[in-house]
């Protein structure tokens, strides 16, 4: 069973990269590892869950051998952060199809609104241990 919580994210998306940096800043218990959907770890792990990293445009959370997607992944991450952020988990009571409809609307416009990088974001050397290749 995989015990480490791993967040898979779009490595060229500015919104996604900012979100990863936000999680790192608010993950005081060091509970999360990260990997880009474009990376080797994603290509190795995601097919085990019938997920093709080439066709994904969402955040994924691998937790306790279960893969969460879209709003469910984001809310499960928020639940583990410090401060008032875990209060966002209350939105889990909203039906998934409604939460994911909002999530998909933002995801569809993320490159237009926040931009896109030519290559994956490279973490600072002191953060390298938090990332899988």
pLDDT in tens, the chain (133 residues): 446 799 999 876 677 778 898 999 999 999 999 998 888 999 999 999 998 877 777 899 999 999 999 999 999 999 999 999 999 999 999 999 999 999 888 888 776 776 766 655 566 777 777 887 6
Task: In whole angstroms, give the CA distance from residue 86 to residue 57.
Answer: 24
What integer pLDDT is reported at residue 15 of this predicted model?
73
Residue boundaries of the structural domains of the chain: 5-121
pTM for the whole structure: 0.84
What integer pLDDT is reported at residue 119 of this predicted model?
52
Strands of the 60-63 sheet, one edge to the other: 32-36, 5-9, 60-63, 66-69
Output the six-digit token pair for 66. Answer: 């279960």
What integer pLDDT is reported at residue 1 of this predicted model?
46
What integer pLDDT is reported at residue 87 of this predicted model?
96
Say if residues 23 and 126 touch (Cβ distance below 8 Å).
Answer: no
């Amino acid at each position: 069973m995989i015990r480490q919580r791993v967040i898979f994210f779009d490595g060229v998306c500015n919104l996604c990269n900012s979100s990863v940096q936000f999680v790192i800043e608010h993950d005081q218990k060091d509970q999360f590892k990260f990997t880009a959907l474009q990376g080797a770890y994603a290509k190795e792990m995601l097919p085990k869950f019938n997920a093709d990293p080439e066709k994904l445009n969402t955040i994924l959370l691998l937790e306790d051998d279960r893969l969460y997607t879209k709003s469910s992944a984001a809310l499960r991450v928020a639940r583990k952060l410090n401060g008032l952020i875990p209060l966002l988990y209350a939105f889990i009571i909203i039906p998934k199809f409604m939460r994911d409809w909002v999530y998909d609307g933002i995801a569809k416009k993320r490159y237009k609104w926040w931009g896109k990088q030519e290559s994956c974001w490279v973490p600072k050397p002191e953060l390298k241990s938090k990332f899988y290749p």
